[in-house]
Amino acid sequence: MYPCVECNKEKLLQNIETLSRMMHADGKIMCAVIKGFCADDSVMEVLEESSCDWFGDSRIEDLAKLKTKKTRFLIRLAQQCEIKNVVASSEVSFESEMKTISLLQEEARRQKKNHGIILAIDMGDLREGIFYKNFAEIDEAAEAILGSSNLTLLGVGTNLGCFGGVMTDSENMQGLIDVATHIEQKFSVKLPYISGMTTAAMEMIEDNTMPLEVNHGRFGEAWLLGYDSVDNRRLSYLHDDAFLFKAQIIEIKNKPSQPIGTVGGNAYGEHVEYKNEGLMRRALLAFGTQDVKYEYLTPLDKNIEFIGASSDHTIINLHDSEEYEVGDVLTFRLKYHALLHLYTSKYVKKYVV
């Protein structure tokens, strides 16, 4: 059934094993971020036997359904409304707020569990975390965790590139190391993990310029789609087609290239100007922006050109090609946001092949 996403089991395993080997060569922890496919059961069956060390997700619902022996890491700061599930369904979480840390301690005591925390440090990307210069706040959070009977301070971590576009480099990695060293010296403890690596750090990993002290990484786009999130760089040693999107043609007609009549806003209130290219061989595909934005898709057939989309239809220019008929299926490579949207849509079928 279409539209659908196909996951190639062999290629996905090759990707995650390749990245795991790169991490393990320096004794680093490989956390596979699984939110891109919503921790889909059939894909998780493939990954359970892989050599990655942890599974990370931003949604506690995904972690809760896992049947795994690997460490489950909540990589988004916990909501206060989900504290009970965070303790029950993850071994480790990313945290920065004192009130949340206090609630986690109370709940962990109730559940008679120990919960690990990696203290989130903002190294300049300005999303989550205690700002790296605010040592008083860092000390307060570290002291609270270290003084809790049911919490363990496992380390510090940072996220780069996702909001501010800040690139991972030797300066911000050394800054994160300095924060960890400060905590260790002030409280006479040893932090097991410094979690600074993401897909945005692939170039430093490839060049062996990542400091050894940074020993924990959280990766999604690299092993899922074979791309470095910095400048959309193709990673040639990884497959870029472990996931493919397929959609069926439901109409092919020759029509003018410009709308006819008085033109206002479209279904999204956008005022779009279409270039006059004369008659055009146009095809309708049975998916729309409710499923995924076509801007995140790349057709395998380079002669196909996207024209636009509504909520339920995507329109393409076949460029006078007589190759396609109604009922034919077109295949597309995915960008990371496409994978996120397609696995979230209940109208898109998911298969492992």
Question: Which residues are the active-site residues?
Answer: 35
Question: What distance in Å separates the CA atoms of residue 225 and residue 232, rounded to the nearest whole number?
Answer: 11
Q: What are phi and psi of 111, to 5 degrees?
A: -85, 0
The number of residues in the chain equals: 353
What SS3 class is residue 233? strand
* Distance separating alpha carbons of residues 201 and 228, to the nearest angstrom: 8
- Considering only CA atoms, give the Rg of the chain: 23
Beta carbons of 332 and 244 less than 8 angstroms apart: yes
List C-alpha distances in Å: 175 to 9, 48, 180, 182, 309.
Answer: 39, 34, 9, 11, 45
Element at 62 (helix H, strand E):
helix 60-64
Q: Is the dihedral of CA 283, 285, 289, 292 positive or negative?
A: negative
Contact partners, residue 16, CB within 8 Å, separation at least 6 = 32, 47, 50, 51, 52, 223
3-state secondary structure of 33: strand
Beta bridge partners of 305: 317
* CA dist., res. 89 & res. 72, Å (int): 8
